[in-house]
Amino acid sequence: VNDLMLEVRAFQRQYQVAVGMSQLTSRALYERLRNRHVVAITHTHLAEPYLLALEQNAGARRWQSIHVAPGEASKSISQAEAIFEQLAEWQCGRDVLLLALGGGVIGDLTGFVAASYMRGVDFIQVPTTLLAMVDSSVGGKTAVNLKAGKNLVGAFWQPIHVSIDPLTLNTLPKRELSAGLAEVIKYGAIIDAEFFGWLEQHHRQILALEPEALMHAIATSVRIKAEIVARDEFERAERALLNFGHTFGHALEAEAQFSGYLHGEAVAVGMVKAAQLSERLGLAVSVDRERLEHLLLACGLPTREQQHFAPERLAARMLGDKKNLKGEVRCILWNGIGRARLPEPVPLALLEEVWRSAR
Ligand SMILES: NC(=O)c1ccc[n+]([C@@H]2O[C@H](COP(=O)([O-])OP(=O)(O)OC[C@H]3O[C@@H](n4cnc5c(N)ncnc54)[C@H](O)[C@@H]3O)[C@@H](O)[C@H]2O)c1
């Protein structure tokens, strides 16, 4: 399977996303790390399988690494502060290059630190979860969480390069792999009916980590995201389509106190809810929602709530979503597979009804 090179054109800079088996030891990465002062940010459990190979191939002038604990709790101001202090103690200058090796937690945290340290330094994303490969490592959104909610402090800060090595998925727990697939399916669902059809045919190969199918799924997802980011980096319109299922999903995650669902699982349920709501509004037909449900289920994802939270509370959570304006809930709905619609206001009572129905 050949390596692929995709371009992301953002306001700040244009950069490449390399996708290929053995990217960790690739020439493209070597060229960016050689002779640089590199500080890698990762988890201890990723050091042996991946960090060592990276370091040996890098040819860096100086190489240091910081290990943070796995889990969403590491995406915090206090964790970022500890990294800032460590960088300063190591006398890292503006020429330091940060390297994020891990999932979305590492990527968002490292990006946030890179955006702020010395008013901004270079960073490279080396995503190791499917979710990070197809979503969080591309597009330049970086953030940490507050007690009041997720991703409330952050910046747009683009990496100088993204290096995706699907071989790193070999050690990823299957549940995490499925959660990442939810975002892959989302791309088909919102904008690319042909890709959706391909996923219906090939999801087994992806779950079995067969290189060709995996590469196609990742590369197509990155291409779609890169195209949307190039057209609307700062989410004034089209980029919002990427939130399909997310307003419902966030409500579920929040009600479950961020412990019951993985993000991708909540998004899977959320996409089905968005499809149900679209049906109710006469925008879409049930066949499309059924196809979506079948594919999600086949990929090991939930399509219905596991615990039953009060519909009023779930709807109220949606009102609290930071993407809302003027106290109304704005949802991404669809006209069917591949045809998501720009955000539109939906009455609270209708949202409650959708949460209540078809459990
Ligand atoms: N910036 C964006 O545009 C964007 C988009 C979507 C999600 N996100 C953020 O991404 C985060 C979720 O990312 P995630 O799903 O990657 O979770 P994660 O980073 O927590 O990783 C999931 C788990 O897998 C482990 N892991 C990672 N790679 C592994 C590997 N190769 N082998 C074995 N274990 C591995 C991690 O230690 C962790 O326990 C959330 O904080 C979310 O807000 C950001």
3-state class of 297 per DSSP?
A: helix
Residue to mutate (ligand 1; options 110, 133, 136, 151; most atoms within 8 A of CB): 136
Contact of 262 with 179, CB cutoff 8 Å: yes
Q: Does residue 63 register a pLDDT over 70?
A: yes
Confidence of residue 308 (pLDDT cuts 50, 70, 90): confident
Among this protein's residues, is 243 annotated catalytic?
yes
Confidence of residue 148 (pLDDT cuts 50, 70, 90): confident
Nearest to 223, CA basis, from 73, 38, 8: 8
Contact of 288 with 275, CB cutoff 8 Å: yes
Asked whether the whole model's pTM tops 0.75, one would answer: yes
User: What does the mean pLDDT of the chain come to?
Assistant: 95
- Which residue out of 216, 246, 289, 317 is catalytically annotated? 246
Mean per-residue pLDDT, 270-291 = 97
What per-residue string of b and e applies to 207-231 under the rule 16 or more CB within 10 Å gives b? beeeeebbbbbbbbbbbbbbbbbee
Q: Does residue 322 register a pLDDT over 70?
A: no
Q: C-alpha angle 235/236/240, rounded to 5°?
A: 50
Alpha carbon distances (Å) from 297 to 159, 185, 218, 280, 301: 34, 11, 20, 22, 5
Among this protein's residues, is 94 annotated catalytic?
no
DSSP-H helix ranges across 299-347: 311-319
Cα distance between residue 87 and residue 191, in whole Å: 42
- Which residue out of 225, 273, 317, 330 is catalytically annotated? 225
Contact of 149 with 233, CB cutoff 8 Å: no
Among this protein's residues, is 67 annotated catalytic?
no
Among this protein's residues, is 235 annotated catalytic?
yes
Per-residue pLDDT tens over the stretch 233-260: 999 999 999 999 999 999 999 898 878 8
Mean per-residue pLDDT, 279-297 = 97
For residue 18, the cross-strand partners are: 5, 163
Cα distance between residue 271 and residue 266, in whole Å: 9
Q: Does residue 264 register a pLDDT over 90?
A: yes
Contact of 43 with 189, CB cutoff 8 Å: no
Among this protein's residues, is 263 annotated catalytic?
yes
Residue to mutate (ligand 1; options 131, 239, 243; most atoms within 8 A of CB): 131
Q: Which two tokens stand for residue 20?
A: 């290929």
Confidence of residue 183 (pLDDT cuts 50, 70, 90): very high
- Which residue out of 36, 43, 55, 183 is catalytically annotated? 183
Nearest to 339, CA basis, from 190, 195, 227, 220: 190
How far, in Å, is the centroid of ligand 1 from the Cα of 131?
6
